[in-house]
Copies of this chain bind each other. A is one copy, B any other.
Amino acid sequence: MKKSDDVISKKAGLPPGALVHVGKRKTEHVKITVIDYDRDHFEQRELASVEECKPYSESASVSWINVDGLHDIPTIEAIGNQFSLHPLLLEDVLNTRHRPKTEEFEEYMFVVLKMLGVSEDRATVVSEQVSFVLGPKFLISFQEEEGDIFDDFRKRLSSGQAQARGLGSDYLLYRLIDTVVDNYFVVVEHISDDVLQLEEVVLDNPDQHVLQGIQLAKKKLIQARKSIGPLREAISILEKDGGKLIAKKTTRHLRDVYEHVIQVNENIENQRDMVSTLMDLYMSGMSNKMNQVMKVLTIISTIFIPMTFIAGIYGMNFENMPELHWQNGYFYSLAAMLVILIGMLFYFKHKDWL
């Protein structure tokens, strides 16, 4: 987190319109692919240069231009020129720390959102920024690296099964957003599994290790909330201000996605509740353990200290100690100790300490 945060401050002091890539370089080459389709035909190609986009975007069929890799600024600028995109929009595409949002421009809509995943060591939520530019007959998507969560959808498109084949670029946008949002459930379920496991451990045998687990879960939830929270408003804007770019029919679908985002957010809040509960459970588990330790110490000490005291008395070297000369003095003293032992045990039994 530290490193990535440092990166965002790279922009401090730069003029707007100065294109800077904020984020890690996640891919070697920038790869531009175009998928052009309508009900009857389907074409998928990797483009060698930005200029090849143009004819696709002007055709009557729907063109989905996908850009993987954001570090090559001249390429991004070339795309901006081709489609006359606003410089601030390009800046936001390149700034991979941007919060999700929808912005309306005269000729197109601009949507930024986050694809979430869980890192391999299950320790962090990783997010990849995806931006969409929706035009009347085209959709440009920018990803930080070659993704795979859209692959299933690509296959359906090419096989001609997908409903999308007969519909516009707005429906394509909806399908991609829907795919991203469906994936949020997977991530949140992953976290909630962790939380359930932590809960079992906390109730069973809390230790310092669990504490780190709780802290990790808390961080993952903060990361997820940060990425998903603002999407609610973004989709609501898309739904309401979609204007001429988004068909009425697609609006109902967006409403559906909107509900899913609300539901994911509720799940995150519930998990946060759970996690803060875990912290309480951990604390009380700790003080329970301490109580156990203290009881053992107390039981042993309060039994043996008085008995040792008796032994101490008859270990004194006074000349005149009558008991020492009794025939059964020793055994009487042992008996006294036994009485103390049994008395104490009864006392602890009574106190429910045993």
User: Do A88 and B252 form a contact, CB below 8 Å, given A99-B266, A189-B5, A286-B284?
Assistant: yes
A294, B296: Cα distance in complex, Å: 11
Contacts known (A1-B196, A280-B279, A314-B318); A309 close to B308, Cβ less than 8 A: yes
Is A245 part of the binding interface, using a Cβ–Cβ cutoff of 8 Å? no
User: Of A103, A211, A297, A306, which is in contact with the most chain B CB atoms at under 10 Å from its CB?
Assistant: A297
Nearest Cβ on chain B to A143's Cβ, whole angstroms? 17
Is A330 engaged at the interface, CB distance under 8 Å to the other chain?
yes
User: B1, B311, B327: which contacts A316 (Cβ < 8 A)?
Assistant: B311
Interface residues of A in 225-244 (CB under 8 A from B): 226
Of B283, B306, B313, B315, which contacts A287 at CB under 8 A? B283
| A:297-331 near B, CB below 8 Å | 297-298, 300-302, 304-309, 311-321, 323-330
Query: Once the chains bind, are A291 and B286 in contact (CB under 8 Å)?
Result: yes
Q: Is A345 an interface residue (CB 8 A)?
A: no
Whose C-beta in chain B lies nearest to the C-beta of A290?
B291
Does A44 count as interface, using CB distance less than 8 angstroms? no
When C-beta atoms are compared, the residue in chain B nearest to A316 turns out to be: B314
> Across the interface, which residues of B come within 8 angstroms of A137, CB to CB?
none
Interface centre among A14, A152, A317, A324 (most CB of B within 10 A): A317
Among the stretches A28-36, A55-63, A71-79, A177-185, the one at the interface with B is A177-185
User: Which residue of the partner chain B has the closest CB to A210?
Assistant: B284
Is A27's beta carbon under 8 Å from chain B?
A: no
Q: Does the CB pair B291–A289 fall under 8 Å? A: yes
Q: Judging by beta carbons under 8 Å apart, are A287 and B288 in contact?
A: no
Of the residues B189, B266, B333, B334, contact of A9 by C-beta under 8 Å:
B189
A12 contact from B98, B182, B255, B263, Cβ within 8 A: B182
Is there contact, CB below 8 Å, between A288 and B324? Answer: no
Shortest CB distance A254–B (Å): 11
| A295 at interface by CB-CB < 8 Å | yes
Residues of B contacting A315 with CB < 8 Å?
Answer: 311-312, 315-317
Closest B residue to A149 using CB positions: B13
Whether the Cβ atoms of B16 and A256 lie closer than 8 Å is: yes
CB distance from A98 to the nearest CB of B (A): 8
* Nearest B residue (CB) for A183: B12
What are 8 A-B pairs with beta-carbon distances under 8 A?
A101-B259, A286-B291, A301-B301, A308-B312, A315-B317, A317-B317, A320-B326, A321-B330
Interface of A with B (CB < 8 Å)?
Answer: 1-2, 5-6, 8-9, 11-17, 86, 88, 91-92, 98-99, 101, 103, 149, 152-153, 156, 162-164, 175, 178-179, 182-183, 185-186, 189, 192-193, 196, 199, 203, 205, 208, 211-212, 215, 218-219, 222, 226, 252-253, 255-256, 259, 262-263, 266, 270, 273-274, 277, 279-298, 300-302, 304-309, 311-321, 323-330, 333-334, 351-353
Chain A to chain B: the 8 pairs with minimum beta-carbon distance, closest first: A311-B312, A12-B182, A314-B316, A318-B330, A297-B298, A315-B315, A300-B302, A5-B189
